[in-house]
Amino acid sequence: MTRRVACWRLPRNSGPPSMTGRDVNANTVLGLVVIALALIVLLVWIPLDTESGILEQVRRKVTIGDAMEPSLAAILMLVSGILLLVEPGGPALSPAHLRWLAGICGILVLGFALIRWTGPVMAWLWVDGVEYRLLRDTAPWKHLGLITGSIAIVAGLIAVVERRLSVRGILVALTVAGGLILIYDLPFDDLLLPPNGDV
Protein backbone atom coordinates (compact mmCIF):
# COMPACT_ATOMS: atom_id res chain seq x y z
CA MET A 1 0.00 0.00 0.00
CA THR A 2 2.74 2.43 0.93
CA ARG A 3 4.52 1.84 -2.38
CA ARG A 4 1.64 3.31 -4.29
CA VAL A 5 1.81 6.99 -4.89
CA ALA A 6 -1.55 8.67 -4.81
CA CYS A 7 -1.87 10.95 -7.79
CA TRP A 8 -4.59 12.81 -6.04
CA ARG A 9 -6.68 11.76 -3.17
CA LEU A 10 -9.81 9.82 -3.84
CA PRO A 11 -11.99 8.29 -1.19
CA ARG A 12 -11.99 4.55 -1.66
CA ASN A 13 -15.11 2.44 -1.73
CA SER A 14 -17.26 5.33 -0.70
CA GLY A 15 -19.33 5.29 -3.85
CA PRO A 16 -20.02 8.37 -5.91
CA PRO A 17 -20.76 11.12 -3.42
CA SER A 18 -23.49 12.40 -5.65
CA MET A 19 -25.65 9.39 -5.03
CA THR A 20 -26.03 10.07 -1.30
CA GLY A 21 -28.53 12.82 -1.96
CA ARG A 22 -27.22 14.94 0.87
CA ASP A 23 -27.64 18.08 -1.25
CA VAL A 24 -31.39 18.27 -1.59
CA ASN A 25 -31.30 21.58 -3.40
CA ALA A 26 -28.94 20.48 -6.16
CA ASN A 27 -31.57 20.99 -8.83
CA THR A 28 -32.23 24.50 -7.54
CA VAL A 29 -28.55 25.34 -7.86
CA LEU A 30 -28.44 23.80 -11.33
CA GLY A 31 -31.58 25.72 -12.27
CA LEU A 32 -30.07 29.02 -11.18
CA VAL A 33 -26.84 28.33 -13.07
CA VAL A 34 -28.79 27.41 -16.20
CA ILE A 35 -30.97 30.53 -15.92
CA ALA A 36 -27.89 32.73 -15.52
CA LEU A 37 -26.16 31.11 -18.50
CA ALA A 38 -29.25 31.32 -20.67
CA LEU A 39 -29.67 35.03 -19.86
CA ILE A 40 -26.02 35.78 -20.65
CA VAL A 41 -26.34 33.92 -23.95
CA LEU A 42 -29.63 35.60 -24.79
CA LEU A 43 -28.82 39.16 -23.75
CA VAL A 44 -25.08 39.42 -24.31
CA TRP A 45 -23.52 36.75 -26.47
CA ILE A 46 -26.15 36.50 -29.20
CA PRO A 47 -26.70 40.26 -29.72
CA LEU A 48 -22.97 40.94 -29.81
CA ASP A 49 -21.90 37.97 -31.86
CA THR A 50 -24.36 37.50 -34.72
CA GLU A 51 -24.39 39.47 -37.93
CA SER A 52 -28.13 39.48 -38.55
CA GLY A 53 -30.76 39.86 -35.86
CA ILE A 54 -33.68 37.60 -35.06
CA LEU A 55 -35.56 38.97 -38.03
CA GLU A 56 -33.85 40.64 -40.94
CA GLN A 57 -34.85 42.76 -43.91
CA VAL A 58 -33.33 41.13 -47.00
CA ARG A 59 -34.34 41.80 -50.60
CA ARG A 60 -37.34 43.79 -49.37
CA LYS A 61 -38.68 40.89 -47.32
CA VAL A 62 -38.54 40.09 -43.65
CA THR A 63 -36.54 36.89 -43.26
CA ILE A 64 -35.31 34.75 -40.39
CA GLY A 65 -31.96 36.04 -39.19
CA ASP A 66 -29.02 34.15 -37.75
CA ALA A 67 -29.92 35.11 -34.19
CA MET A 68 -33.26 33.29 -34.31
CA GLU A 69 -32.12 29.69 -33.76
CA PRO A 70 -29.69 30.34 -30.88
CA SER A 71 -32.23 32.66 -29.23
CA LEU A 72 -34.89 29.97 -29.30
CA ALA A 73 -32.36 27.48 -27.90
CA ALA A 74 -31.50 29.90 -25.11
CA ILE A 75 -35.18 30.40 -24.31
CA LEU A 76 -35.58 26.62 -24.15
CA MET A 77 -32.70 26.51 -21.66
CA LEU A 78 -34.27 29.34 -19.69
CA VAL A 79 -37.54 27.41 -19.45
CA SER A 80 -35.70 24.27 -18.35
CA GLY A 81 -33.89 26.32 -15.69
CA ILE A 82 -37.17 27.59 -14.32
CA LEU A 83 -38.64 24.08 -14.31
CA LEU A 84 -35.55 22.87 -12.45
CA LEU A 85 -36.21 25.39 -9.67
CA VAL A 86 -39.48 23.70 -8.83
CA GLU A 87 -38.03 20.20 -9.13
CA PRO A 88 -36.61 19.02 -5.81
CA GLY A 89 -33.57 16.83 -5.21
CA GLY A 90 -31.26 15.44 -7.83
CA PRO A 91 -27.56 14.62 -7.68
CA ALA A 92 -24.93 17.35 -7.42
CA LEU A 93 -21.35 17.75 -8.54
CA SER A 94 -19.05 17.34 -5.57
CA PRO A 95 -15.58 18.85 -5.18
CA ALA A 96 -14.24 15.33 -5.64
CA HIS A 97 -15.80 15.21 -9.10
CA LEU A 98 -14.22 18.52 -10.01
CA ARG A 99 -10.82 17.36 -8.75
CA TRP A 100 -11.16 14.26 -10.87
CA LEU A 101 -12.01 16.30 -13.94
CA ALA A 102 -9.08 18.62 -13.30
CA GLY A 103 -6.76 15.64 -13.03
CA ILE A 104 -8.04 14.07 -16.26
CA CYS A 105 -7.68 17.41 -18.02
CA GLY A 106 -4.15 17.80 -16.72
CA ILE A 107 -3.17 14.46 -18.23
CA LEU A 108 -4.88 15.27 -21.52
CA VAL A 109 -3.30 18.73 -21.78
CA LEU A 110 0.11 17.20 -21.17
CA GLY A 111 -0.65 14.53 -23.77
CA PHE A 112 -1.80 17.09 -26.34
CA ALA A 113 1.28 19.22 -25.75
CA LEU A 114 3.48 16.17 -26.37
CA ILE A 115 1.48 15.25 -29.47
CA ARG A 116 1.77 18.74 -30.86
CA TRP A 117 5.35 19.64 -29.96
CA THR A 118 7.46 16.47 -29.71
CA GLY A 119 8.04 16.38 -33.47
CA PRO A 120 8.78 20.07 -33.99
CA VAL A 121 11.08 20.23 -30.95
CA MET A 122 12.98 17.13 -32.03
CA ALA A 123 13.33 18.48 -35.56
CA TRP A 124 14.56 21.79 -34.19
CA LEU A 125 17.09 20.04 -31.92
CA TRP A 126 18.47 17.52 -34.35
CA VAL A 127 18.11 18.81 -37.88
CA ASP A 128 18.99 22.31 -38.91
CA GLY A 129 17.44 24.09 -41.78
CA VAL A 130 14.46 21.76 -42.04
CA GLU A 131 11.23 22.68 -40.34
CA TYR A 132 9.04 19.93 -38.92
CA ARG A 133 6.36 21.07 -41.37
CA LEU A 134 8.39 19.63 -44.22
CA LEU A 135 9.00 16.41 -42.31
CA ARG A 136 5.38 15.81 -41.46
CA ASP A 137 5.06 13.09 -44.07
CA THR A 138 8.38 11.44 -43.24
CA ALA A 139 8.80 8.52 -40.86
CA PRO A 140 9.80 8.40 -38.07
CA TRP A 141 9.31 12.12 -37.49
CA LYS A 142 5.63 12.05 -38.20
CA HIS A 143 5.05 9.39 -35.54
CA LEU A 144 6.94 10.98 -32.64
CA GLY A 145 4.09 13.09 -31.30
CA LEU A 146 1.59 10.26 -31.41
CA ILE A 147 3.92 7.91 -29.54
CA THR A 148 4.85 10.29 -26.71
CA GLY A 149 1.31 11.62 -26.47
CA SER A 150 -0.08 8.10 -26.30
CA ILE A 151 2.27 7.24 -23.45
CA ALA A 152 1.18 10.30 -21.51
CA ILE A 153 -2.53 9.73 -22.05
CA VAL A 154 -2.95 5.96 -22.00
CA ALA A 155 -0.25 5.07 -19.48
CA GLY A 156 -1.15 8.18 -17.48
CA LEU A 157 -4.82 7.28 -17.15
CA ILE A 158 -4.07 3.66 -16.34
CA ALA A 159 -1.63 4.90 -13.70
CA VAL A 160 -4.29 7.10 -12.15
CA VAL A 161 -6.63 4.17 -11.68
CA GLU A 162 -3.88 1.78 -10.56
CA ARG A 163 -2.28 4.54 -8.48
CA ARG A 164 1.17 3.74 -9.81
CA LEU A 165 2.91 4.02 -13.12
CA SER A 166 3.26 0.49 -14.44
CA VAL A 167 5.34 -1.01 -17.20
CA ARG A 168 2.16 -2.66 -18.38
CA GLY A 169 0.56 0.76 -18.85
CA ILE A 170 3.45 1.97 -20.99
CA LEU A 171 3.39 -1.22 -23.03
CA VAL A 172 -0.33 -0.81 -23.62
CA ALA A 173 0.28 2.80 -24.69
CA LEU A 174 3.01 1.79 -27.12
CA THR A 175 0.81 -0.97 -28.52
CA VAL A 176 -2.00 1.52 -29.04
CA ALA A 177 0.31 3.98 -30.82
CA GLY A 178 1.71 1.18 -32.97
CA GLY A 179 -1.78 -0.06 -33.75
CA LEU A 180 -2.93 3.40 -34.78
CA ILE A 181 0.06 3.81 -37.08
CA LEU A 182 -0.75 0.39 -38.50
CA ILE A 183 -4.43 1.22 -39.03
CA TYR A 184 -4.17 4.75 -40.36
CA ASP A 185 -0.67 5.52 -41.55
CA LEU A 186 0.63 2.44 -43.34
CA PRO A 187 -2.36 1.66 -45.58
CA PHE A 188 -3.52 5.21 -46.31
CA ASP A 189 -1.30 7.67 -48.07
CA ASP A 190 -3.40 10.75 -47.50
CA LEU A 191 -4.40 10.37 -43.87
CA LEU A 192 -2.58 12.46 -41.31
CA LEU A 193 -1.96 11.35 -37.75
CA PRO A 194 -1.90 14.03 -35.08
CA PRO A 195 -0.40 16.66 -35.20
CA ASN A 196 0.57 16.57 -38.87
CA GLY A 197 -2.41 18.49 -40.18
CA ASP A 198 -1.69 21.50 -38.00
CA VAL A 199 1.98 22.09 -38.68
186 near another protein, rule: CB under 8 A: no
| Spatial separation of the C-alpha atoms in residues 136 and 114, rounded to whole Å | 15
Site string for another protein, 156-175 (x = CB under 8 A): xxx-xxxx----xx--xx--
Residue from 24, 36, 43, 83 touching another protein (CB under 8 A): that is: 83
In angstroms, give the least distance from the CB of 65 to another protein. 8
Site string for another protein, 90-119 (x = CB under 8 A): xxxx---x--xx--xx--x---x--xx---
| 15: helix, strand or coil | coil
50 near another protein, rule: CB under 8 A: yes
Residue from 1, 3, 15, 167 touching another protein (CB under 8 A): that is: 15
Contact 80, 34 (CB under 8 A): yes
Annotate 164-196 with three-state secondary structure: CCCHHHHHHHHHHHHHHHHHHHCCCCCCCCCCC
135 near another protein, rule: CB under 8 A: yes
20 near another protein, rule: CB under 8 A: no
Residue from 1, 5, 128, 167 touching another protein (CB under 8 A): that is: 128
Burial class (CB in 10 A: 0-12, 13-18, 19+), 16: exposed
Residue from 114, 120, 136, 148 touching another protein (CB under 8 A): that is: 136
Residue from 32, 39, 77, 165 touching another protein (CB under 8 A): that is: 77
Biggest alpha carbon–alpha carbon distance for the chain: 76
| Spatial separation of the C-alpha atoms in residues 117 and 110, rounded to whole Å | 11
